[in-house]
Amino acid sequence: MSARRKTISYQDYVSREARQPHAPLTAEINFLNLIKTGDVRRVRALCKEPFHEKEGLGILSDDPMRNIRYHFVITAAIIARNCIEGGMSMPESYGMSDYYIRLADDAGTFEEITEIHEDMCVAYARRMREVSKEDIFSRHVAECIDYIYEHLDEKIRMEDLTRASGLSEGYLSRLFKTETNMTVTEYITAKKIETARNMLANSDYPIVWISDALAFPSQSYFTRVFTKRCKVTPARYRKISRR
Please give the pLDDT value at position 169. 94
| pTM, rounded to two decimals | 0.60
Highest mean pLDDT among 51-65, 123-137, 215-229: 215-229
Closest to 213 in 3D by CA, of 1, 15, 2 = 15
- How do residues 157-197 score in pLDDT, each as one tens digit? 999 999 989 999 999 999 999 988 999 999 999 989 988 88
DSSP 6: -
Q: Are 241 and 229 in contact (CB under 8 A)?
A: no
**Across 146-156, average pLDDT:** 87
pLDDT digits (tens, 9 = 90+) for 206-223: 999 999 989 999 999 999
Residue 3 pLDDT > 60: no
pLDDT of residue 18: 47
Tell me the average pLDDT across 221-229. 95
Mean pLDDT of the chain: 85
Q: Where does residue 11 fall: left (phi above 0), alpha (psi -120 to 50 degrees), or beta otherwise?
A: alpha
Q: Does residue 213 come out as left (phi exceeding 0), alpha (psi in the -120 to 50 range) or beta? A: alpha
- Domain ranges within the chain, ordered by starting residue: 10-131, 139-242
pLDDT digits (tens, 9 = 90+) for 73-106: 999 999 999 899 888 889 999 999 999 999 999 9
What is the spatial distance between Cα 234 and Cα 205, in angstroms, rounded to a whole number? 12
Report in angstroms the alpha-carbon separations of 54 from 18, 229, 243. 10, 36, 28
Number of Cβ within a 10 Å radius of residue 218:
12
Q: How far is CA 18 from CA 22, 24, 47, 164, in A?
A: 10, 7, 10, 31
Residue 235 has pLDDT above 50, yes or no: yes
- pLDDT for the residue numbered 197: 87
Identify the pLDDT of residue 42.
85
Q: Which CATH architecture has domain 139-242?
A: Orthogonal Bundle (1.10)
- Alpha helices, DSSP H only, in 62-109? 64-85, 90-106
**Structure confidence at residue 151 (pLDDT):** 87
pLDDT of 49 strictly over 90: no
DSSP three-state, residue 175: helix
Beta strands in 154-196 (DSSP E): none
* CA pseudo-torsion sign 162, 167, 170, 176: negative
Percent of the chain with pLDDT over 70: 88
Which pLDDT value is given to residue 1? 44
Quick check: 127 pLDDT over 70? yes
Rg of the chain taking only CA atoms, in angstroms: 19
Least confident of 12-21, 131-140, 181-190: 12-21
Q: Are 192 and 211 in contact (CB under 8 A)?
A: no
